[in-house]
Amino acid sequence: MEKATFGAGCFWGVEENFRQLNGVTETKVGYSGGHIENPTYEQVCGKNTGHAEVVEVIFDPAVITYQELLRKFFEMHDPTTLNRQGPDHGSQYRSAVYFHSPEQETMAAEVKAELDKKGVFQNPIVTEITAAKPFYDAEEYHQKYLAKRGINVCH
Protein backbone atom coordinates (compact mmCIF):
# COMPACT_ATOMS: atom_id res chain seq x y z
CA MET A 1 0.00 0.00 0.00
CA GLU A 2 1.04 3.58 -0.66
CA LYS A 3 -0.09 6.95 0.65
CA ALA A 4 -1.14 10.10 -1.22
CA THR A 5 -2.30 13.42 0.24
CA PHE A 6 -4.40 15.96 -1.65
CA GLY A 7 -6.06 19.30 -0.93
CA ALA A 8 -8.89 20.25 -3.29
CA GLY A 9 -11.26 22.43 -1.31
CA CYS A 10 -13.75 21.17 1.25
CA PHE A 11 -12.51 17.73 2.22
CA TRP A 12 -15.95 16.10 2.46
CA GLY A 13 -16.54 15.81 -1.28
CA VAL A 14 -12.88 15.16 -2.06
CA GLU A 15 -12.82 12.22 0.35
CA GLU A 16 -15.99 10.78 -1.16
CA ASN A 17 -14.58 11.05 -4.69
CA PHE A 18 -11.41 9.18 -3.73
CA ARG A 19 -13.25 6.68 -1.50
CA GLN A 20 -15.27 5.49 -4.52
CA LEU A 21 -12.18 4.56 -6.59
CA ASN A 22 -11.26 0.92 -7.06
CA GLY A 23 -7.86 0.40 -5.44
CA VAL A 24 -8.33 3.01 -2.72
CA THR A 25 -8.39 1.06 0.52
CA GLU A 26 -8.70 3.86 3.06
CA THR A 27 -9.34 7.59 3.26
CA LYS A 28 -9.08 10.09 6.10
CA VAL A 29 -9.75 13.79 6.17
CA GLY A 30 -7.51 16.14 8.06
CA TYR A 31 -5.23 19.12 8.00
CA SER A 32 -1.73 19.52 6.63
CA GLY A 33 0.68 22.06 5.22
CA GLY A 34 0.64 24.44 8.16
CA HIS A 35 2.62 25.33 11.25
CA ILE A 36 0.27 24.54 14.18
CA GLU A 37 0.33 21.09 15.79
CA ASN A 38 -2.99 19.27 16.23
CA PRO A 39 -5.19 22.06 14.85
CA THR A 40 -8.94 22.04 15.25
CA TYR A 41 -11.42 22.72 12.48
CA GLU A 42 -12.19 26.09 14.04
CA GLN A 43 -8.49 27.03 14.08
CA VAL A 44 -8.02 26.00 10.44
CA CYS A 45 -11.13 27.98 9.44
CA GLY A 46 -9.66 30.94 11.31
CA LYS A 47 -7.00 31.04 8.58
CA ASN A 48 -4.02 31.50 10.91
CA THR A 49 -2.66 27.94 10.97
CA GLY A 50 -1.38 27.68 7.40
CA HIS A 51 -3.12 24.30 7.08
CA ALA A 52 -5.21 23.11 4.17
CA GLU A 53 -8.15 20.74 4.39
CA VAL A 54 -6.73 17.54 2.91
CA VAL A 55 -7.53 13.92 2.25
CA GLU A 56 -5.05 11.18 2.99
CA VAL A 57 -5.54 8.30 0.56
CA ILE A 58 -4.17 4.80 1.08
CA PHE A 59 -4.13 2.92 -2.19
CA ASP A 60 -2.96 -0.31 -3.79
CA PRO A 61 -0.63 0.68 -6.67
CA ALA A 62 -1.24 -2.70 -8.29
CA VAL A 63 -4.89 -1.65 -8.77
CA ILE A 64 -4.70 2.13 -9.18
CA THR A 65 -1.55 4.11 -9.86
CA TYR A 66 -0.51 7.39 -8.31
CA GLN A 67 -0.73 8.95 -11.76
CA GLU A 68 -4.37 7.82 -12.02
CA LEU A 69 -5.06 9.37 -8.60
CA LEU A 70 -3.46 12.62 -9.78
CA ARG A 71 -5.66 12.71 -12.87
CA LYS A 72 -8.78 12.13 -10.74
CA PHE A 73 -7.59 14.86 -8.36
CA PHE A 74 -7.32 17.39 -11.18
CA GLU A 75 -10.75 16.33 -12.54
CA MET A 76 -12.60 16.68 -9.22
CA HIS A 77 -11.90 20.35 -8.59
CA ASP A 78 -10.85 23.59 -10.22
CA PRO A 79 -7.06 23.72 -9.83
CA THR A 80 -6.92 27.19 -11.42
CA THR A 81 -8.51 29.13 -8.56
CA LEU A 82 -6.22 30.32 -5.81
CA ASN A 83 -7.58 29.55 -2.34
CA ARG A 84 -11.11 28.92 -3.59
CA GLN A 85 -13.36 26.03 -4.55
CA GLY A 86 -16.96 26.80 -5.37
CA PRO A 87 -18.48 28.84 -2.54
CA ASP A 88 -15.56 28.06 -0.20
CA HIS A 89 -12.70 30.54 -0.02
CA GLY A 90 -9.58 30.87 2.09
CA SER A 91 -6.12 29.33 2.05
CA GLN A 92 -7.46 26.20 3.79
CA TYR A 93 -9.27 25.39 0.51
CA ARG A 94 -6.17 25.65 -1.69
CA SER A 95 -5.36 23.13 -4.38
CA ALA A 96 -2.37 21.10 -3.20
CA VAL A 97 -0.50 17.88 -3.79
CA TYR A 98 1.61 16.84 -0.80
CA PHE A 99 4.08 14.29 -2.11
CA HIS A 100 5.53 11.44 -0.07
CA SER A 101 8.43 10.52 -2.37
CA PRO A 102 10.56 12.00 -5.15
CA GLU A 103 8.62 9.84 -7.61
CA GLN A 104 5.32 11.36 -6.49
CA GLU A 105 6.82 14.86 -6.80
CA THR A 106 7.97 14.15 -10.36
CA MET A 107 4.64 12.64 -11.40
CA ALA A 108 2.65 15.52 -9.91
CA ALA A 109 4.79 18.10 -11.71
CA GLU A 110 4.54 16.17 -14.99
CA VAL A 111 0.75 15.79 -14.85
CA LYS A 112 0.31 19.46 -13.91
CA ALA A 113 2.59 20.57 -16.78
CA GLU A 114 0.86 18.25 -19.26
CA LEU A 115 -2.60 19.56 -18.36
CA ASP A 116 -1.40 23.16 -18.63
CA LYS A 117 0.30 22.49 -21.97
CA LYS A 118 -2.83 20.83 -23.39
CA GLY A 119 -4.96 23.74 -22.21
CA VAL A 120 -7.35 21.44 -20.36
CA PHE A 121 -8.33 24.38 -18.15
CA GLN A 122 -9.09 27.89 -19.32
CA ASN A 123 -6.59 29.37 -16.83
CA PRO A 124 -3.18 28.19 -15.58
CA ILE A 125 -3.11 25.58 -12.82
CA VAL A 126 -2.13 27.08 -9.44
CA THR A 127 -1.92 23.78 -7.54
CA GLU A 128 0.98 23.77 -5.09
CA ILE A 129 3.20 20.69 -5.13
CA THR A 130 4.96 20.42 -1.79
CA ALA A 131 6.63 17.77 0.35
CA ALA A 132 4.19 16.18 2.77
CA LYS A 133 4.16 17.70 6.23
CA PRO A 134 2.56 16.12 9.29
CA PHE A 135 -1.06 15.10 8.76
CA TYR A 136 -3.50 15.79 11.58
CA ASP A 137 -6.79 13.88 11.60
CA ALA A 138 -9.88 16.05 11.42
CA GLU A 139 -12.49 15.58 14.07
CA GLU A 140 -14.48 12.33 13.89
CA TYR A 141 -17.66 14.02 12.69
CA HIS A 142 -15.80 15.09 9.51
CA GLN A 143 -14.65 11.54 8.66
CA LYS A 144 -16.71 10.04 5.79
CA TYR A 145 -19.12 12.92 6.35
CA LEU A 146 -21.07 12.49 3.11
CA ALA A 147 -21.14 8.68 3.23
CA LYS A 148 -22.63 8.81 6.76
CA ARG A 149 -25.45 10.93 5.34
CA GLY A 150 -26.04 8.79 2.25
CA ILE A 151 -24.99 11.50 -0.20
CA ASN A 152 -21.99 11.76 -2.49
CA VAL A 153 -21.66 15.44 -3.42
CA CYS A 154 -21.27 18.65 -1.41
CA HIS A 155 -22.49 21.33 -3.83
| Sign of CA pseudo-dihedral 129, 88, 133, 136 | negative
| Catalytic residue numbers, as ranges | 10
Phi, psi of 71, rounded to the nearest 5 degrees? -65, -40
Give me the long-range contacts of 106-113 (CB less than 8 A, separation at least 24). Answer: 107/66, 107/67, 107/70, 108/70, 111/67, 111/70, 111/71, 111/74, 112/74, 112/79
